[in-house]
Structure 1
Amino acid sequence: MIRSMTAFASGERSTPWGTLACELRAVNHRFLEPGFRLSEELRALEPALRERLAQRLSRGKVDVSLRLRAASSSEGLRLNPQLLDQLGGLAVDLSGRFPGFKVEFTELLRYPGLLEQSEIDAEALQTESLALMDSVLAEFIKAREREGAALAAVMRERLDGIEAIVAQVKVALPEIRTALRARLDARIADLKQPLEPGRLEQELVLQLQKIDVDEEIDRLGAHVAEMRRTLASKDAVGRRLDFLLQEFNREANTLGSKSIDARSSAASVELKVLIEQLREQVQNIE
């Protein structure tokens, strides 16, 4: 399936240590070039993230953002129950001895060890991060495929146009050759001295060889068929399509250089317009 190189996807995942947020965005690039923006706790994941991208993508400049938004200060905190019981018993004992004894709650929280904050489980956090990355990457690829399907539809329309022009040139070729023969006859008729026997046929054959575009027309037809087959492929085909367009351009240029008729000249120009439109679309394909 054709994929575009441009796409965007994002997602979030709640963890005991906060919220993980992942974003993937990509633009056109000749090769796969990933870039990473990772929270400090996740920097060790870069090799694994890079490997995941390489397994699923082949081209594009891909920016990966993976952040951990820490839980609010009250979350992840807990009281040490054993220490709290000890302090409570001590407070009861002291209040009996000192009737005016009073402890503020905020002062109590400052007691070393009373408040505990859960530590981040690095291995579990990495597992959660990779699961989120896989989920976002799957959505990212779906977005590429949706845009790729739209690009493929546009390209098939341009291929229809190329096929129509090729068919028109095929129909016109016999008339072009007849017109060439008529022009040669007229030139010979204007000559004051008669030609040697067979000279007209020799000249006609020479001129027909110079304007023979049957091979170019056949190749254009073959290139159209190959591009349609490539568009139906499930592999990454951007580079192959780019190569095919070079062949398209070569045949269109040759058709124009051999032209002796306004119809084939116009066909060459129209072909180049459609080929350029195809090239613009191919630049976006993975």
Structure 2
Amino acid sequence: MFRIGCHLSVSKGYEAMGKEAIKIGANTFQFFTRNPRGSKAKALNLEDIKKYLELAESHGITKIIAHAPYTLNPCSADERTREFALEVMEDDLRRLEYLPNTLYNFHPGSHVNQGVEIGIEYIIKALNHIMKPEQSTIVLLETMAGKGTEIGRSFEELKQILDGVMLPDKMGVCLDTCHVYDAGYDIVNHLDNVLEEFDRVIGLDKLYAIHLNDSMNGMGSGKDRHEKLGEGSIGLEAFTRMINHPKLKDLLFCLETPNDLEGYEKEIKLLKDLYNARDWKDPI
């Protein structure tokens, strides 16, 4: 089954997000656990969650993505900033148990000139503190573009984090197409090679979701500027190849393109039309 959705606002509640997703033809979606630039989360509305779960079951929405706020930095040089990230993520995981089997995606953070190794140690320490054996939520490390001192610009950096966690079965990766392309992975001309490298370094069994975003910049730019599908340097043929690839086609796909709901609806329809359109292969 082709699972495709987009980023929605949680401000109106979970049932409202579910209805919005269905209205625009999506069968999954992503949402921020709280204000993406802030820290406060709204009190849980258990009745709203109950209605959402009933709606989701009746419409085949089996898995969604919760995204941690952008402002969190679990590997900051500042101790209080690291503590704040840990507190928010621990609270997020506690709340997400009311939404069973949700994926929880976060940006690994920036080491702020401490060095990659120190930053990775902080991330591992945070994850080992917040994750519990009984949780149903899978925590995803997002691939990053590599701007500044971001961690996660390479598969090797993500692998180091995954190797350090004590609950590896609760961890996975979300591959962002704009980010990996801007980080220097040629998913346009050599998708198979990139997937082979991911499998060799991390393992494709750890890939749970893909953020579908075109890029305003060229490969290896390290810029992280999302563009609408087909309007950037990645291009529509590459996305068609990705969603139809036998190693990817059954994953969860989520749009983070600069769009409103109408724009997302058009992109979702476009992708549905392109899914199974033909046997796409890497260019020779």
TM-score normalised by structure 1 residue count: 0.20
Structure with the higher fraction of residues in helix conformation? 1
Larger Rg: 1
TM-score normalised by structure 2 residue count: 0.21
